Structure 1
Amino acid sequence: MMTNSMIFRTEGQEVFAERTFDAPRELVFKAFTEAEHLKHWWGPRGWELTVCNIDFRPGGVWHYCMKCMDQNQGDFFGVEAWGKALYHEIVQGEKIVYSDYFSDAEGNTADDMPATEVTLTFIEQDGKTKVVNRALYASADAVKTVIDMGMQQGFTETWDRLAEYMASAQ
């Protein structure tokens, strides 16, 4: 079996990640847009999506909580990380554009944490799906902040979980 590694790079104010998943585009798109799919894979290993309220439409909001359930992660065990996305543009099966924020349980955005404009593109490739994530930050310093927080590892583990879920969901 071929391992499908993620391409991850930063360029100034942008972070790019891309990976090809062995699943049809329609299913991969649903995995990013429906709570019943997201709860199976969103977040790094050892973390679970304990709250996932999604209103998937332009102007709609996705408010969620990831909680560390892995006792082996030491100080992170029991920690909750809240996030919020505001959807701007949706092209069914092809593209999602949204603003991504750190937030609290009430959905208030954390102004002291970097927000990002995300464009997700889903490209059909012979029954597989290439996902390209382009994240635009306000500054190169904001990119450094999220990279220093472990963004690349988190992305890799999250997309590994997505690949495993896609294998079981078909």
Structure 2
Amino acid sequence: MDAGSRNDADEAEREIVTTRVFDAPRELVFAAFKDPQHISNWWGPNGFTTTTYEMDVRPGGQWLFTMHGPDGTDHPNRVRYTEVRAPELLAYDHDAGADRPDFEPFKVWVTFETEDGKTRVTLRLLAATRERRDWMAKFGAIEGAHQTLARLAAHLLQSEGKTS
């Protein structure tokens, strides 16, 4: 499915959308999402760290990682890429891996658009049900996405040798 299309009328009630504009070229922002050396430095909400075990960014490839919470809790994650169009789109199914079959998977589209020399990133998460989307929002997915993109902004500044 295309990042902008709708399959049914209730998708809007099942999605979480977060957008941020970065003062960086689209190719650099896209690279920060597909390079394990970069993404492990910024992925996750404030206070979290990320350990990447495998990252193969291509359709059919996967990213296996653990997010380590500030309270010491480990959160295993698995991303299975369904579409990759460099430097404009990453689409994937997100779950917790084979060890957590109880985890409800969700779909994600990350789009990268050039805008006045900057890059607009839009994260679109689609849950299976409205109830699951509401649970994810209550759990902190919206604020976590904003914090994650803020951490990316700081990482990009550091990567380009800029200061705030």
Question: Would you say same fold, with TM above 0.5?
Answer: yes
Q: Deviations over 1:39-79 (max 9, x none)?
A: 110011111112342011110010001112x4xxxxxx211
Q: Distance in 2 between matches of 1:109 and 1:116?
A: 17
How many angstroms apart in 2 are the aligned matches of 1:93 and 1:118? 16
User: How many residues are paired up?
Assistant: 150
User: What SS does the corresponding residue of 1:31 show, helix, strand or coil?
Assistant: helix
Please give the TM-score of this superposition, normalised by the length of structure 1: 0.83
CA RMSD of aligned residues (A): 1.5
Aligned mates of 2:143, 2:151 — CA distance in 1:
12
1:116 to 106, 112, 129: 106
Structure 2 partner of 1:168? 158
SS of the equivalent of 2:76 reads: strand
- Whether contact under 8 Å (2:36, 2:52) holds in the other structure is no
Q: CA offset at residue 113 of structure 1?
A: 2.7
Which 10-residue stretch deviates more, 111-120 or 93-102? 111-120
> Is structure 2 residue 22 aligned with structure 1 residue 21?
yes
What is the one-letter code of the residue matched to 2:31?
K
What CA distance in whole angstroms lies between the structure 1 residues aligned with 2:72 and 2:141? Answer: 19
Q: Are 1:101 and 1:109, in contact at CA under 8 Å, matched by a contact in 2?
A: no
Aligned mates of 1:129, 1:163 — CA distance in 2:
11
Equivalence for 1:73: none
Q: What is the identity, as a one-letter code, of the residue corresponding to 1:85?
A: V
Q: Structure 1 CA distance, aligned partners of 2:31 and 2:49? A: 18
Counterpart check, 1:53 vs 2:54: yes
Q: 1:98 aligns with which of 92, 111, 124?
A: 92
1:83 pairs with 2:63: no
TM-score by length of 2: 0.86
Gaps of 5+ in 1: 1-9, 71-76
- Looking at structure 2, the residues matched to 123 and 159 of structure 1 have their Cα atoms a distance apart, in angstroms, of 15
Structure 2 residue 27 is matched with structure 1 residue 33:
no
Deviation at 1:137, TM superposition (A): 1.4
Partner Cα separation in structure 2 for residue 152 and residue 57 of structure 1 = 26
Cα distance in 2 between the residues matched to 1:109 and 1:100: 14
Distance in 2, Cα, partners of 1:119 & 1:50: 22
Answer whether contact 2:18 2:146 (CA < 8 A) is retained: no
- The superposition leaves residues 71-123 of structure 1 with CA deviations (integer Å, 9 ceiling, x where unpaired) of xxxxxx211111100001111100111101123xxxx1633333111111100
Deviations 1:20-54 (A, max 9, x none): 11111000001111101101100111111123420
Question: Structure 1's 47 and 129: CA in aligned 2 closer, same or farther, altered over 3 A?
Answer: same
